Amino acid sequence: MARPPETGAGRFGGARGAARARVLQAAWIFDGERRWIEGGGLLLAGTRIERVLESPAAVARAHRDVARAHRDVARAHRDVASVEDLGARLLTPGLVVAHAHLELSALAGAVPRGPDLTSWIASLVAQRGAIARPELLRARGRALEQLLTSGATTIADVDSMDLPAPLDPRGPRVLVQREVLDLSDPARRAAAIERVRRRLRTNVRRFEGISPHAPYTVSDELFQAVAAVARQRNLPVAVHFHETPEEREWNELGTGPFERLVGPNRNRGPALDRLDRTGLLGPATSLVHANDVTAAERRRIAASGAAVVHCPGAHEFFGRPTFPLADWLEAGVPVGLGTDSAAGNQTLDAQREVVLACAAAPDVPPERLLAMATWGSARAIGLGERHGRLVPGALADLAAWDVEGANPDDLSASFAAARRQPRAVWVGGRQVRGAPAPRR
């Protein structure tokens, strides 16, 4: 998988580490998987989590260690060598958005739903082509702001327009998934292959992946080329997959509204077969939407190790039938949550996606949804161990929430019951939203 480079990882210890060590305490901590800690905290060292503090006593010990280290290096500073007390809040990993198209915020509210998905796509593509790049960049900036304010610290963004890097040092991390498609046109295919072979310049806030758009716009040859580059460079892959039954109709029979959108299908057959034989049905791939999937296909996806990304807001926007979230979880498929684009969603809000998913899946415990919005999404997009969870060595990407409850069930139910914004957000240990917490 793509791993963001390790920079600024000042370990606790030594003058530099000590100067950057700090302790956060909160009434409750959820680690992104299933662990809840009451009255504990986190010891941060630079951009990372050094220690998870399991109790008030562990917080006090860590505080003493930090204060002593500061004295040792004669850099004692009352503000740093104190505990930041978040009070009666829930501290979680920052939310991870497993699928977005940030540039399409330029078309928020501008694309009519239409009678089916193909008319929405046709209108979107026509309008997008008329937007100047500076406007796309401004729209992407607005989308990043909006998502960070909603608690998202990492976003998988499909870049269709080759936009330059988002590099705001106070912004979220962005997994740039470069979109390619060829519509069976050899000239477009050559350009697309060239595009995926080019390395992106990445840094700690920006890392790369590839998104071959969908089985109805990507030829077998292009899927194969993507699979080869992804394998070679260990890059995560995202493919839009079976958003509607009409997509299956075109894949398997070559008929229906998708024929009018993309032309005849010379390569008919189940889309999963095509992904499989081109080398893309595997753990490096996330299948976005996967709304129209049979039980047998779900088992096959589970066996392959591929992940699925569900976009509850887009689901609601297009009025799709209920997403069988419990079936996916039961099958053992990693599921992440995405916002998709502001052109096909009411708004971009990572926490709202949890609320919508929870309302539509009363048989899934809210705690699973909170886990899905953090480490689940990080796993789904191939980010590995250091994103979306609170463990030693993980990135200190965090969000603090006002939620009500005296036990984990009530707290997660409260989190998923209504839209809310985090009180504070940290990316790489740096607080980027909210007022500083009182110190003691």
- Structure tokens, 37: 């800690």
**In this structure, are residues 180 and 196 in contact, taking their beta carbons and an 8 Å threshold?**
yes
Query: What is the CB neighbour count within 10 angstroms for residue 440?
Result: 9
Least distance from Zn ion to the Cβ atom of residue 330, Å: 25
**In this structure, are residues 312 and 356 in contact, taking their beta carbons and an 8 Å threshold?**
yes
Burial 385-396 (b: 16+ CB within 10 A, else e): ebbbbbbeebbb
* Nearest residue (beta carbon) to Zn ion: 340
Least distance from Zn ion to the Cβ atom of residue 178, Å: 14
**Site of interaction with Zn ion (CB under 5 A):** 340
The one-letter amino acid code at 117 reads L
CB-nearer residue toward Zn ion: 219 or 345 = 345
CB-nearer residue toward Zn ion: 177 or 278 = 177
- Structure tokens, 366: 């809210």
CB-nearer residue toward Zn ion: 2 or 158 = 158
**In this structure, are residues 401 and 63 in contact, taking their beta carbons and an 8 Å threshold?**
no
- Structure tokens, 274: 């095509």
What is the rounded CA–CA span in Å between residue 277 and residue 180? Answer: 19
CB-nearer residue toward Zn ion: 84 or 340 = 340
What is the rounded CA–CA span in Å between residue 413 and residue 317? Answer: 24
CB-nearer residue toward Zn ion: 247 or 340 = 340
- Structure tokens, 245: 């039954």
- Which letter does DSSP use for residue 102 in this model? G
What is the rounded CA–CA span in Å between residue 30 and residue 345? Answer: 28
CA angle 183, 99, 174 (to 5 degrees): 105
CB-nearer residue toward Zn ion: 159 or 340 = 340
CB-nearer residue toward Zn ion: 31 or 340 = 340
Least distance from Zn ion to the Cβ atom of residue 223, Å: 17
Least distance from Zn ion to the Cβ atom of residue 180, Å: 14
What is the rounded CA–CA span in Å between residue 247 and residue 270? Answer: 11
Strand, helix or coil for residue 291 = coil
CB-nearer residue toward Zn ion: 13 or 114 = 114
Least distance from Zn ion to the Cβ atom of residue 99, Å: 6
- Structure tokens, 149: 């304010």
β-strand partners of 51: 43
Least distance from Zn ion to the Cβ atom of residue 240, Å: 6
CB-nearer residue toward Zn ion: 44 or 239 = 239
- Structure tokens, 422: 């985090």
Least distance from Zn ion to the Cβ atom of residue 106, Å: 15
Closest CA to 324 of 365, 281, 290: 290
> Is 157 exposed, middle or buried (CB count within 10 Å of its CB: 0-12, 13-18, 19+)?
buried
Least distance from Zn ion to the Cβ atom of residue 336, Å: 13
Strand, helix or coil for residue 298 = helix
What is the rounded CA–CA span in Å between residue 132 and residue 1? Answer: 33
**In this structure, are residues 331 and 287 in contact, taking their beta carbons and an 8 Å threshold?**
no
Least distance from Zn ion to the Cβ atom of residue 104, Å: 9
CB-nearer residue toward Zn ion: 15 or 110 = 110
CB-nearer residue toward Zn ion: 50 or 340 = 340
Least distance from Zn ion to the Cβ atom of residue 132, Å: 22
Least distance from Zn ion to the Cβ atom of residue 141, Å: 20
What is the rounded CA–CA span in Å between residue 404 and residue 6? Answer: 36
Report the DSSP pairing between strands 83-85 and 430-433: unpaired
